[in-house]
Amino acid sequence: MELVAGPPSRWIVTLVGGSQVEVWADTVTGLTEKTAHHEHVVFGVLMDIDADLQDQFEVTARGRARGSRVEVAVARFPRRCVQDVVTVA
């Protein structure tokens, strides 16, 4: 198993209580108007993982062909607990 997209982006998640969490991920879902109905904000990384090992991970997306390229969740926050999410350059 290995990361595919290179170094992940750095995100700062500010929770409703003011605490901040640093997350390193390639993708984030649940922040746009299109995904506003999702219950969670989910961060993921793009990885190559052997098909027989993928059931050990929370796979959130797959490539077109059933292969080793998958997106894996690395952090999940209930939407009601998230105040703000920003990417850090």
pLDDT higher than threshold 80 for residue 49: yes
What local confidence, expressed as pLDDT, does residue 12 receive? 97
Taking residues 17-21, what's their average pLDDT? 97
- Backbone region of residue 18 per phi and psi (left: phi > 0; alpha: psi in -120 to 50; beta: other values): left
How remote is the C-alpha of 85 from its chain's centroid? 12
User: What predicted TM-score, i.e. pTM, was given to this entire model?
Assistant: 0.86
Q: What's the Cα-to-Cα distance from 18 to each of 13, 82, 83, 85, rounded to whole Å? A: 10, 9, 8, 12
pLDDT band at 65 (very low <50, low <70, confident <90, very high): confident
Give the pLDDT of residue 1: 78
pLDDT computed for residue 10 by the predictor: 96
The answer, yes or no, to whether residue 25 has pLDDT greater than 90, is: yes
